Structure 1
């Protein structure tokens, strides 16, 4: 049953999340170190960025009964019309080309004659996440990292999933940036991938982002890798998150994600997953109708969303405990009579 919502009539500039449907995203500032993913994954290639925007526009405009291979690109409007951040959803990975991770397993060796028994960690090339929805592409300008703006940008993806569950898989996953040395090198890549690709990590990552992952299937070793055969300093870095990605990992874990036995094939960063129905933004979401406009925001902060297709919007508002419902913070986001979804922020 839909509750009634009381909204404020104040007119203030607040950040809001919208679908990307403009080339103005090409002018978005994406400073080094502001993404929880590897720097090479940034869409610095203008052509690749334009293609993603077009894919996203097409996905938002189509009626979709079930996920296929869509990309949804959300942007953070900082309240002045400038784009200060982006977030992506890949509705069903592993369709156009395989989606690879390394799965970390153990094997036990036992010699009765020598009286020796020991466990070995092994890395297996895996396609286990084929068909899942991936959340990623999170960029946020440093000037906007305050007052929960990063959390708004990250969680807007889950509000989109909750609003249109048929467009996404019931299994949600994310990759995070692995450990990088102070000099900028990636020890895991230098010890494993570089031996087979003969190129720097940034070049391999950029190539995969533009041309797909078939080259991984062509060149990556098909047999398991014994972790004990890697250089000793590299072993404890497998599954270790880069310090710049630690806040992103915390957000994911708070939302309901859990660590898996999988790591990124390039830098061995952690991979997390969650059932869509277990995401807090989905499990705890409620719906209501704006019934009136108040004068002042009050109550607890809430994440709110509305609209379909290009009209999807997500922002932070306030909820009150009385049956009248919510207090809205910006007259351009929702009007009297509109239905909105909300969850505690």
Structure 2
């Protein structure tokens, strides 16, 4: 039985193993004991804090096999990007020039360093074991965060974003980084991303050029990386795209990966989730998989369960499932179909 729950300090050793296995570019999951320990402590404090509006909180979740107590994945919500440190992106928009005398009006795409996405809620830290990729458990790991937002909207912004890891080859070479960032840091892409995970990311961003970078002046290989997704990041992108997230004019300033954006009312797991009453009993199993969660804070739990359920009816769950979801007979439960 696999359950998503908030991280605990006792998870630190396993979480560090997940960090070692995670994709280069997932800088919010550093392979560093002290950084991870502080992240866990910050998450634990966030879940118990009294919050009336979004602030610096981070909510970190892990996917656990209850039988083996093994962690198989993790994901995170940062309530407010840019709250404690500036959140930098590259804005990809045309720079327009014109000459009335020559009757020329021309737009050239340009990348500009910006902090436009400060104050948005940020989804980050998605990682799942390879054997569970492209299964309903990947959906659980990503979308249960959105059900948590649905349960506690006051804790989050009215706009949600996520950065998808951009393209790099099997040797860890990023054509976008090599054409741009490397000139300012003289560091390999993998080392720059490692430093971002270990230190304040803004100190690197602030050394990036503060003037527009005209896209046609980049190498063709670098231009092809703008908005391109790393193959191992495709699933994270696909799940959120199905949720209603869309690409916008912002990209990651290190690897050129796309940024996804959505308003909570348009996010499927928020807009389509329904409340019901959980009842102890023999479940009426069906062929429709549902994401099922409680609306708690430190006791938040979510699972994938195949049910035969209709709106307005109670959700029949056996004792083991009720316990795994931290529910009692008669407790409210949130559901959304996969």
TM-score, normalization by structure 2: 0.91
Q: For 1:49, which of 36, 39, 44 is the aligned residue?
A: 36
RMSD between aligned residues: 2.1
In structure 2, the partner of 1:300 is 288
CA, structure 1 residues 292+272, in 2 after alignment: closer, same or farther (shift >3 Å)? same
**Residue 331 (structure 2) pairs with residue 338 (structure 1):** yes
Gaps of 5+ in 2: none
Query: Could you tell me whether the CA contact under 8 Å between 1:32 and 1:39 is conserved in 2?
Result: no
Pick which of 105-114 and 164-173 moved more.
105-114
SS at match of 2:87: coil
Query: What does residue range 74-223 of structure 1 map to in structure 2 within 5 Å?
Result: 74-80=61-67, 81-111=69-99, 118-145=106-133, 147-223=135-211
CA, structure 1 residues 161+263, in 2 after alignment: closer, same or farther (shift >3 Å)? same
User: 1: CA distance between counterparts of 2:251 and 2:314?
Assistant: 43
CA, structure 1 residues 297+335, in 2 after alignment: closer, same or farther (shift >3 Å)? farther
Query: Could you tell me whether the CA contact under 8 Å between 1:41 and 1:205 is conserved in 2?
Result: no
- 1:31 is displaced (CA, Å) by 7.6
State the aligned residue count: 331
User: 1: CA distance between counterparts of 2:103 and 2:277?
Assistant: 71
Structure of greater relative contact order (alpha carbons < 8 Å, 6+ residues apart):
1
- 1:34 is displaced (CA, Å) by 4.9
In structure 1, the partner of 2:52 is 65
The superposition leaves residues 89-136 of structure 1 with CA deviations (integer Å, 9 ceiling, x where unpaired) of 000011111101001011234456666554311001111110000001
- 1:236 is displaced (CA, Å) by 1.9
Query: Could you tell me whether the CA contact under 8 Å between 2:29 and 2:197 is conserved in 1?
Result: no
In structure 1, the partner of 2:313 is 324
User: 1: CA distance between counterparts of 2:27 and 2:279?
Assistant: 47
CA, structure 1 residues 307+162, in 2 after alignment: closer, same or farther (shift >3 Å)? closer
The superposition leaves residues 247-293 of structure 1 with CA deviations (integer Å, 9 ceiling, x where unpaired) of 21111110010000100000000001100121111101111112341
In structure 1, the partner of 2:13 is 26
User: 2: CA distance between counterparts of 1:109 and 1:63?
Assistant: 51
Q: For 2:236, which of 224, 238, 248 is the aligned residue?
A: 248
Pick which of 139-148 and 117-126 moved more.
139-148
SS at match of 2:53: coil
Query: Could you tell me whether the CA contact under 8 Å between 1:18 and 1:75 is conserved in 2?
Result: yes
CA, structure 1 residues 98+185, in 2 after alignment: closer, same or farther (shift >3 Å)? same
Query: What does residue range 221-260 of structure 1 map to in structure 2 within 5 Å?
Result: 221-260=209-248
**Residue 272 (structure 2) pairs with residue 284 (structure 1):** yes
The superposition leaves residues 36-69 of structure 1 with CA deviations (integer Å, 9 ceiling, x where unpaired) of x625553211111111000000001111111111
User: 1: CA distance between counterparts of 2:202 and 2:18?
Assistant: 28
Pick which of 25-34 and 297-306 moved more.
25-34
- 1:326 is displaced (CA, Å) by 2.6
Query: Could you tell me whether the CA contact under 8 Å between 2:276 and 2:312 is conserved in 1?
Result: no
Query: Could you tell me whether the CA contact under 8 Å between 1:299 and 1:320 is conserved in 2?
Result: no
In structure 2, the partner of 1:270 is 258
SS at match of 2:209: coil
User: 2: CA distance between counterparts of 1:323 and 1:127?
Assistant: 45
Gaps of 5+ in 1: 1-13
Query: Could you tell me whether the CA contact under 8 Å between 1:178 and 1:268 is conserved in 2?
Result: yes
User: 2: CA distance between counterparts of 1:319 and 1:164?
Assistant: 27
